[in-house]
Structure 1
Amino acid sequence: MSASKPQQRDEVRIKHSLNKNEKAFVARRRNTVLQCLQKFNIHCSQDKVPNIALLGSGGGQRAMVGLLGSLVQLDKAGLLDCILYLSGVSGSTWCMASLYKEPDWSTKLETVKDKIIKRLSGEGVNWKDAFAKLRKYYYGKDFFSLTDVWAAMFVTSFVKEIDEGTLTDEWKKHSKDPFPIYTVIDKHCKQSEEGDPWFEINPYEAGYSLTGAFVDASNFGSQFHKGSKKTHQNVLDMLYLQAVCSSALADGEEIWKWIKGPNSQSIEEYYQVLMDLVDMNLAVLEGTSTTDISALDQSIKTTLNDISGGEGQPLCKAFCLGASADLKADKQYMTQYTIDVCNQFVKLKLDFWPFDQIDSWRKNHRTSNLPYSPERVAELVDVAGKNISNNKEKLLEQIRAAAEAK
């Protein structure tokens, strides 16, 4: 029997097994987990160390801050080194991205926590930088999509930074942390209820674990055909990764239908307003002609008027790019115009919201609210931590049972 062909970086790996680099890391990490278990009188051989994973849920900034608070308390309880894998989806990946920016974050978590909270409590990314990032996506990628808009305009408003690092480069700084797995919901598989809806991205590979199909992490975003790479795409940065992991995008149409109700306009009209707004901002940055801007301006106003049934609030005065020969003034105007459109967008959404007591709902469910205040962040970190401290013995009981079962 001939030897199997070595796996190439530009090929799809079809196999239900760990990548060799992940396997080597896991073997080393097991030593750390074993030593941690022994401190709690949980004894087993190295080959019987249970695979302990911490899974973070989705839920926007609430999930981000909640995961951070849980990890901090696990560290204080001496349980953090029990974790072999750290995985999350949507908001939890925002926390993971912040953690793995810091080399060996688990050895200095209190300091890293303070740094993250300080950033979340700050002013955040300004409109100019956000649109500049959007422009970079627009001109630097073969396929520009709503995910790019989501990254530059939405994710930045919550994580309050533009992280242009890459997962593969950042992982080189880590030797003492759990192995990270970022998860993505495959929109088409989820909605069709066929195939594998979960797509994972780790420092070495990206692919479908149930299907057993993976590509090298440096090729995530490139196009493949019949198992081989055909079109290369530069490595996607961490900001885009946090956007693509957002589970809301996988349920986009269902979310809009639920919010708007059965008699509302189609999702395409909302999408068109958003894309016209993106084009307007890009045009201002590029200095495109007034005619192009006016056409986009009219398209936005007409569509918003149609969606609202003629009851929408008027936007700011007609746009006239270059009339003052002052690019700074044009950008300031575009910022206000964008805010007006977004406010109109929010109002239209809330008018269709299927709850009678919207104020009560907002108070108790803050997943989609604006970024939390510093006080709210601190409170949530504390509450999440108590969930761990109050259940430490139950966690140890389950870990002990898992070790004995192996």
Structure 2
Amino acid sequence: MSASKPQESGEVRIEPSLNKNEAEFIDGRRKSVLQSLKKLQIDCTQDEVPNIALLGSGGGERAMVGLLGSLVQLQKTGLLDCILYLSGVSGSTWCMASVYQEPEWSSKLETLKDKIIKRLSGPKVSWKEAFAKLKKYYYEKDHFSLTDIWAVMVITSFVKEIDEHTLTEQWSQHSKDGKVPFPIYTVIDKKCKHHNIGDPWFEITPHEAGYSLTGAFVDASNFGSKFHKGSKKNQQGEFDMLYLQALCGSALADEVEIKKLLWQNIKDLFQQKETVLEEMGKEQNEMRLQASAGNFGPGSGENLPGLLNLGAPEEQDPNSPATDECYQVLMQLMDMNLSTLTGEDTSALDESIRTSLYDLTKGQNPPMLLMGPGCAADEADKTNMKGYSLNVCNKLSGWIQLWPFDAWTSIIKCMNQWTWGRNHNFLHNVTGEAVPSILQETETRDYEDAGLLLNSPYFSVLRKERHIDLIISLDFSEGDPFLTVKEAAKTCKELNIPFPEVNIPQGHSEVPMDFYLFKGQNTPTVIHIPLFNMVNCGDKIEAWRKKYTTFQGPYNAEMITDLVEVAGKNIINNKDSLLEEIRAAVGQKGSRR
């Protein structure tokens, strides 16, 4: 085990202090920062070294590439080595996941940048690789949700790889002497966000995962495992970096647009009929071999009898008419869900599905009928499609329970129930007033993209134990380029968290500059840098915004290179201003001693 890898604990930690492994790393990093400040002609003692956090907002691939371009120039100007924490939301976490693959990446960013651009502009992950990864998630995870689908079908289309390393594995290659900033990935608790109670801010570091403001954490390697009353009961394997990127980056657009994208991607994946039937044949052969040998693999024992007794054994050949009919029903069901979203007539699809289900079982008494509230064709709208889809899937599940058919029906159920980021709740039934009751009540919690609440990870670095003096906020958001900092200020005021006043000059939301400074008494200083602005884009800000929208397909090599350059200009053009505020942070820290 690497010295920097956390010691695994099966207990929940409820206290506001930093994890001891993080604290040790930060001590080493601060020593490294001191040497970097001296190279920049900034004289200070070890105690005067300011704690500087770099934030990357969400924004899909635009944020990923924008953060990459910014990091490259921060390294060239010598400023990257002054950063203590690097925290991201959504698309920025995709960049973080990529750069932290490389040991001590901050010293080799130019080469790493070229490597990442080549990958991002290269070929997509193949269907067979996607199928194999989906199968792993489906069988190895306790809770299968749309986040797993999103990882395999959407995230891979942008990042062009399946990264199966875990966060703790990735971090183990980084030395303890502080050669890189400490990474913090952020998501939110869906229920806390929707009910506006409890603590929605959830952070994931190489050592711990938990609620930032509540101060309730579990070892990162145990996030997803089953806990009861603060103690681990069942271990689940640590999630990999592909899943982490999906967990952090699942809010590319509004819900309707996401649903359209997902339904189409699911349809495209399962339209590979030969692959689907081939996988079914493999699964059936494996089950028969296990049954004949009396050897049931992990997780398969309780399901195997059902898999071998499907109600119509003579028709379980993957090439049988019944299997083909079931395949067509599921394809039509996806078309019906897509048509419902776009407002198209679904009556013909409904009639075909009903006929197919009846024909499949007309030898039975009574035959299978599609019934239940909200199933009439003229009522198949966005509201009752949920019940309709679940009805169809439940009926088909009794017929075919082989991979990938069983996963397919589960995916459709997840789509209609809109289940994202479901994991065991490590705070289930814990005791103590420190944890809000809403976080103790349920056995599971759902986590989602923090951009759905605040598109920048302010609350991960605003934990008072991190003692942040200076925040550099790189904003890659779509829409109002100041929304994140304004919302952070508003929320901090409500929660009594020190944060400077934020006043934006009139007209700057439409035509921003490239550097904004917010200061206050006994608050961290905040530097806010919008991606597209008058300085790096001139009078073509709107053209840049239209060229790089959040909800669009992956960028080509030219688009990526151009975006890396324009984002980098924000650092080059503001090097002196950034240095000035770092000097000021040193002075403020010294005056408080």
TM-score w.r.t. length of structure 2? 0.54
Report the Cα offset of residue 279 of structure 1: 7.2
Helix, strand or coil at the partner of 2:163? coil
Distance 2:219 2:576 in 1: 40
In structure 1, the partner of 2:139 is 139
Distance 1:378 1:237 in 2: 28
Contact 2:127–2:269, Cα closer than 8 Å, also in 1 = no
Change in Cα spacing, 1:308 to 1:93, as seen in structure 2 (3 Å) is: closer
Identical positions, percent: 62
Report the Cα offset of residue 393 of structure 1: 1.1
One of 189, 196, 206 as aligned partner of 1:186? 189
Change in Cα spacing, 1:395 to 1:128, as seen in structure 2 (3 Å) is: same
Helix, strand or coil at the partner of 1:113? helix
**Pairing 1:242–2:276 present:** no
Which aligned pairs between 1:32-111 and structure 2 lie closer than 5 A? 32-111=32-111
Change in Cα spacing, 1:107 to 1:308, as seen in structure 2 (3 Å) is: closer
In structure 1, the partner of 2:418 is none
Report the Cα offset of residue 80 of structure 1: 1.1
Report the Cα offset of residue 29 of structure 1: 0.6
Q: What is the identity, as a one-letter code, of the residue corresponding to 2:197? A: E
Q: What is the identity, as a one-letter code, of the residue corresponding to 2:324? A: T
Distance 1:379 1:271 in 2: 29
One of 583, 587, 591 as aligned partner of 1:400? 583
Change in Cα spacing, 1:256 to 1:49, as seen in structure 2 (3 Å) is: same
Helix, strand or coil at the partner of 2:124? coil
Report the Cα offset of residue 235 of structure 1: 0.7
One of 321, 326, 331 as aligned partner of 1:292? 326
In structure 2, the partner of 1:10 is 10
Q: What is the identity, as a one-letter code, of the residue corresponding to 2:14? A: I
Gap runs ≥5 in structure 1: 1-6, 261-266, 319-330, 332-358
In structure 1, the partner of 2:171 is 171
Larger-Rg structure: 2
Contact 2:40–2:78, Cα closer than 8 Å, also in 1 = no
Helix, strand or coil at the partner of 2:232? strand
**Pairing 1:366–2:566 present:** no
Helix, strand or coil at the partner of 2:173? coil
Which aligned pairs between 1:252-271 and structure 2 lie closer than 5 A? 255-256=254-255
TM-score w.r.t. length of structure 1? 0.78
In structure 1, the partner of 2:567 is 384
Bigger Cα displacement from structure 2, 271-280 vs 162-171: 271-280
Report the Cα offset of residue 141 of structure 1: 1.1
Q: What is the identity, as a one-letter code, of the residue corresponding to 2:190? A: K
In structure 2, the partner of 1:338 is none
**Pairing 1:206–2:209 present:** yes
Report the Cα offset of residue 381 of structure 1: 0.5
Distance 1:150 1:82 in 2: 35
Distance 1:385 1:360 in 2: 18
Residue by residue over 1:269-318, the C-alpha shift from the partner in whole angstroms, topping out at 9 and shown as x without a partner, is 99888778777778543245324313312322333344444458x99xx9
Q: Where is the helix percentage greater, Structure 1 or Structure 2?
A: 1
Residue by residue over 1:111-139, the C-alpha shift from the partner in whole angstroms, topping out at 9 and shown as x without a partner, is 11111111111112122211221121111
Residue by residue over 1:307-345, the C-alpha shift from the partner in whole angstroms, topping out at 9 and shown as x without a partner, is 444458x99xx9xxxxxxxxxxxx9xxxxxxxxxxxxxx
Change in Cα spacing, 1:309 to 1:233, as seen in structure 2 (3 Å) is: same
Change in Cα spacing, 1:376 to 1:276, as seen in structure 2 (3 Å) is: closer
Distance 2:560 2:47 in 1: 40
Helix, strand or coil at the partner of 1:206? strand
Contact 2:62–2:548, Cα closer than 8 Å, also in 1 = no
Distance 1:80 1:271 in 2: 37
Deviation >3 Å, runs of 4+: 269-284, 301-312, 359-362
Bigger Cα displacement from structure 2, 36-45 vs 228-237: 36-45
Change in Cα spacing, 1:41 to 1:215, as seen in structure 2 (3 Å) is: same
Report the Cα offset of residue 162 of structure 1: 0.4
Q: What is the identity, as a one-letter code, of the residue corresponding to 1:218? A: S
Helix, strand or coil at the partner of 2:185? strand
Change in Cα spacing, 1:275 to 1:227, as seen in structure 2 (3 Å) is: farther
Contact 2:226–2:235, Cα closer than 8 Å, also in 1 = yes
Report the Cα offset of residue 185 of structure 1: 2.2
Contact 1:222–1:231, Cα closer than 8 Å, also in 2 = yes
Change in Cα spacing, 1:143 to 1:280, as seen in structure 2 (3 Å) is: farther
